[in-house]
Each structure stands twice: as C-alpha cells, then as structure tokens.
Amino acid sequence: MPIIEVNDLTKHYRVYQKREGIGGSIKGLFHREFRDVHAVEGINLSVEQGEFVAFLGPNGAGKTTTLKLLSGVIQPTSGTASVMGYVPWLRQNEYRRRFALVMGQKNQLWWDLPARESYRLHQHIYGVDPQEFAARLDELSDLLDVVRLLDQPVRELSLGERMKMELIAALLHNPDVLFLDEPTIGLDVIAQHNIQQFLRYYQEKRRITILLTSHYMKDIAALCRRVVVIARGTIQYDGSLSGIVDKFSGDKLVTLQFAASESLTLPKTLGSIVNENWPKIQYRVPRGDVPRLLAETLRDHAIEDIVVEDPPLEDVIADLFRESMQNQESSANNSTKTKTTSTSTV
C-alpha cells in the first residue's frame, strides 16, 4: 500500500477583509467583511515508500498548506489522508515519532543554545535510545560537516549552517517520512549544493520518503524524479520532470548557424527571434511547425549548424505559474464581487 494516500483533501479559510484608515477600522468593529480562501481544493495524491517527490507551485498555490495537513499541524475542511496508516490531524504520538517537518523559514532549535543542547531535548521528547542518539548524531554531523559547530550557539551560525542543524534535528529520531518546505531558501549556491548532496545520499541510503517544496529548479532537478505541480489549490500535473515540458510547452527553440556568405536578411517565417548574434540566431518555433519551417529555411538559406531543443524548464514552469496566478487573481476578483459576506457585531 502507498505510504501516503490523499483523497479529495480540502482546506478553506475565512479571512477578514480589513478596511483602510482609522474610519475603516472603527466600522470594522460593527460591520465586518470576509473573504473565503480555498487554499487546497480536492487534492488526490498517492506516494509509494522511498519516493522523493517534488511539490511545485506559485506562492499561494497550496504547497505549504498541504504539508501542514499531512503533518497534522492543521485540520482539513473535508477529505481524507493517511500517512503510514495514521490520520495526521489526530496527532497520535506514534505518528509524531515517525515523521519530521522542516520549514526553511521556521526554526526548531533554541536560538541562544548550542545545537547539541537542543538535540538532547529532542532525544528525550522522541524517546531515542542514548546509544542510537549518539551514533546518529555522529553520522549526521559528519555527513553535513558540522561537527565543529555543535557546541556553538545557533544564533552565531550562518543561514546555511543553521539549515544543516535543522536537518539533523529532523532526522535524529530516524523518521520514515520527511516533509521539506523550502529547505534551501535564501542559501548561496554552495550551501544549496551541499544540502542537495546530503539529501540525495541520505534518501538513497535509508529509503526514506520525502516530499519537497522548493522554488529552486536546481533542487528539483537534482533530487526528484517525480513532480507534482499544484496551482489554485488543485493538482495540475503529476509525473516526470521532463514530462512538464511536453505537456505545458507548445514551442521548440531552434538555433541556426548561418553560413558566412549569407546576407543579414533573416527569414521571417521561421518564428520569433529569441537571441540574435549573427551568424547564430535562435528562434522560438511552434512544436508542430518545426519540420516544415526548417525545410523551407534550408531550401532558401545556407546553414552550417542546427540545434533543436526544448525551452529551459525554468521558463516553462515560470509561464505555468504566471498563468495560474493570473487565473487565481481573476477568480479572487470575481469571488470578492459575488461571495463577499458580512456580519454585524453588537
């Protein structure tokens, strides 16, 4: 059976619409307006044990809300979910001991204490055997190269060093499922690479199931074979990383190296020009038109080299997110006009 099973999971919020100015604040005491936010809207998801799955989506798409639901931090409006046979929001102690949640913008370590002291607290909370605790701490701190930093106050560590410490804290009790929400946010390239290497090695070694949200496509490309794209609270795509380009991009990039004898008069029928550095020109061409347009260009021009490739994954994802956000804004505006409710207080 899948280790994570989600069926029609939904989470709605009711948000108070605060008015501007002092007058608006006073009026809000007696007459309040609210807006319904559909953070998660009927998600269905199944994850097998040992999978490393990426959650992609624009801000406000429902990624973090989904992780909070699966970790039991919040309760759903409707729907069901099972993680390792447990219902997350029942918050059973047995379940808490078998998963971990790491949020890139939240700290779980005591700011003024050395990380080692926080780890000892984690040991007692999760009931980890002292010998197992010592062995895991040695292994994790060695893998992440932070042995020298364990007795240094957390507030004195760099952002990348703190994230390594957060990962150690999450893995000390040897969880079967790990939820990662933007673990490399704000980190430099070297720190991101180190975190990626560690997660890849640890996941392959322990066969732990990981759900990862990240806005860094390099994280996704380096770690995940399966990608779930969520937008407007619903899943838009679930499949391989390369499959996103096939589904959401209707164009190809065609780079032509013209012969030196060619004039600077470029063929206008090939497509829109993306980069122009004569004699090399890159065009964006509709996918279905590539064979015909290339044949016409080769007939009329002397070409030394041709490269046909998919658009960069980052561009495809950005276009998808942009479209989703525009649709979301449009839906929100319509919802505000038609679904705004009000209550009076006495």
Q: What is the per-residue pLDDT across 261-271, written as a single tens digit (0 to 9) for each?
A: 766 566 556 67
In the predicted structure, residue 257 carries a pLDDT above the cut 60: yes
With bands split at pLDDT 50, 70 and 90, how would you rate the model's confidence at 256?
confident
Sequence ranges of the chain with CATH classification 3.40.50.300: 4-98+175-245
**Mean of the pLDDT values across residues 220-233?**
87
Q: Which pLDDT belongs to residue 179?
A: 95
Q: What is the per-residue pLDDT across 211-220, written as a single tens digit (0 to 9) for each?
A: 999 878 888 8
Residue carrying the six token digits 């984690």? 122
Region label for 145, one of left (φ > 0), alpha (ψ between -120 and 50) or beta (otherwise): left
With bands split at pLDDT 50, 70 and 90, how would you rate the model's confidence at 15?
confident
The dihedral of CA 7, 5, 89, 229: what is its sign? negative
CB atoms within 10 A of CB 336: 13
pTM, rounded to two decimals: 0.79
In the predicted structure, residue 175 carries a pLDDT above the cut 90: yes
Rounded to whole angstroms, the Cα distance separating 297 from 303 reads 8
With bands split at pLDDT 50, 70 and 90, how would you rate the model's confidence at 24?
low
- Higher per-residue pLDDT: 281 or 47: 47
Q: What is the per-residue pLDDT across 79-104, written as a single tens digit (0 to 9) for each?
A: 999 999 999 999 999 999 999 999 87
Residues 6+ apart with CB under 8 A from 248: 237, 316, 319, 320
As given in the structure block, the two tokens for residue 299 are 């007939």
Rounded to whole angstroms, the Cα distance separating 316 from 311 reads 7
Residue carrying the six token digits 């390594």? 164
- Higher per-residue pLDDT: 191 or 17: 191
Q: Which pLDDT belongs to residue 105?
A: 74
**Mean of the pLDDT values across residues 285-292?**
87
Q: What is the per-residue pLDDT across 116-171, written as a single tens digit (0 to 9) for each?
A: 999 999 999 999 999 999 999 999 999 999 999 999 999 999 999 999 999 999 99
As given in the structure block, the two tokens for residue 307 are 């490269």
In the predicted structure, residue 234 carries a pLDDT above the cut 90: no
The dotted CATH code for 250-309 is 3.30.70
In the predicted structure, residue 21 carries a pLDDT above the cut 50: yes
Q: Which pLDDT belongs to residue 265?
A: 61
In the predicted structure, residue 327 carries a pLDDT above the cut 70: no
φ, ψ for residue 235, nearest 5 deg: -80, 120
With bands split at pLDDT 50, 70 and 90, how would you rate the model's confidence at 341?
very low
- Identify whether the C-beta of residue 262 lies closer than 8 Å to the C-beta of residue 305: no
Q: What is the DSSP string of 147-183?
A: GGGTTSBGGGS-HHHHHHHHHHHHHTT--SEEEEEST
- Identify whether the C-beta of residue 150 lies closer than 8 Å to the C-beta of residue 115: yes
Q: Which pLDDT belongs to residue 264?
A: 59
Give the 3-state secondary structure percentages of the chain, helix then strand then coil, rounded to 5: 40, 30, 30
Q: Which pLDDT belongs to residue 270?
A: 67
**Mean of the pLDDT values across residues 212-240?**
87
Considering the chain, what is the average pLDDT of its residues? 85
With bands split at pLDDT 50, 70 and 90, how would you rate the model's confidence at 321?
confident
Domain 4-98+175-245, CATH number (from 1.10.150.530, 3.40.50.300, 3.30.460.80, 2.60.40.10): 3.40.50.300
- 14 bridge partner residues: 36
Sequence ranges of the chain with CATH classification 3.30.70: 250-309
Q: Which pLDDT belongs to residue 287?
A: 86
